[in-house]
Chain A
Amino acid sequence: MNMPLTGAAEPTTQGLRRMGVEVGLASEQALLEMVCEGECNALALAWSPTDRALVMPRRHDRLAGFPAARHRLAAMDWPVLFRATGGTPVPQSPAVINLALALRCRVGSSAAHLEWGYHRLGDPWCAWLASLGVADADLGPTPGAYCDGRFNVRIGGRKLVGTAQRWQRVRGCRDMALLVHGAMQLDDTPEALVAVVNAFQAAIDDPQRFQAASHIALRDVVPDLDLEAAMPRLLEGLVAGHAMPGLAAHH
């Protein structure tokens, strides 16, 4: 397992890198490309933004009110950026910690599929939370949360980590490469981040609104968290299971 370094990133906390949102998104895509090129079978990256942006799949730019919404969010100092994974708008800020895992998988293996990918990220995350004394972490949906899905990392049913994936064929063979990403709210109040997404909803004239009560920040439950000591353990948990069924042999 390699831990990639990017030239534009500056290491701070061991295992956690701090970089601009745009650089972070590009670094995650670079992980997937490296696996697709056969340079390695598994790569991980932990990063936290030095700036902030509202990040969404590019398809949102087809919405009728998108140009005006983008302008309005930029005026609020929340520029809109696009990401390669699925889902809906998610705020990225220094209050968020991102983990990305890129893996090469053999198609047709019963072990290598979409749900496996989510568990490959989410199960070690839940185990890490348990090590911090958080007993009720699990994976599941969080109705009322922004960018909801079936595989959020939840605490007491509230969304702590949003997860998403991107799959690409490995060039020249039937194998596939998976990028699974998780964004965890560490600091700040859920109200602050939900308000940003709801501002976008209002700006595109979408009546759906999201609820702060569906979200939780890690500091809410672990106020004395020692991030520098805890982050390496989370990364170790993620990479520990890389020799799993469904993971293609190194070429």
Chain B
Amino acid sequence: MSTAITVPEDLWEGDNEGVITAWLVDDGGQVNQGDLVAEVMVDKAQYEIKAPAAGRLTIAKQEDEVVERGTTIASLDD
């Protein structure tokens, strides 16, 4: 089973774009639900992205890539 990691729709307001500033887990790494996995910056504000489930991380959007709210940035597989 695969679970997408998306930028939460309620993370910030408006249509501003963000930038992935850091992946805190390597591609292929194992994470637990609730682990901090990435950071996204918008307007000099850093937001944390946490794992919605446990699994092996596959990164879809790399550091410095632009993202919007709702963008899938990675997946987690059992």
Contacts and interface: CB of A to CB of B under 8 A. Distances in A.
Contacts of B50: 169
Nearest to A62: B63
Contacts of A165: 43-46
User: From DSSP, what is the main secondary structure of chain A's interface residues?
Assistant: mixed
Contact of A117 (B10, B11, B45, B63): B45
A168 B45 CA distance: 11
B48 interface: yes
Interface in B10-24: 10-13, 16, 21-22
Contacts of B42: 86, 114
A150 interface: yes
Interface string B40-59: 01111111101000000000
A114 B10 contact: no
Interface in A96-123: 107-108, 113-115, 117-118
Nearest to B18: A86
Nearest to A171: B34
A176 to B, nearest CB: 9
A217 to B, nearest CB: 21
A163 interface: yes
B12 A114 contact: yes
A117 B13 CA distance: 12
B21 A167 contact: no
Given A62-B63, A169-B50, A114 B22 contact: no
Given A165-B45, A166-B47, 9 more contacts: A57-B46, A86-B44, A86-B46, A113-B12, A114-B16, A114-B45, A151-B44, A167-B47, A169-B48
Interface of A: 57-59, 62, 84-87, 107-108, 113-115, 117-118, 147, 149-151, 163-169
Interface of B: 10-13, 16, 21-22, 41-48, 50, 63
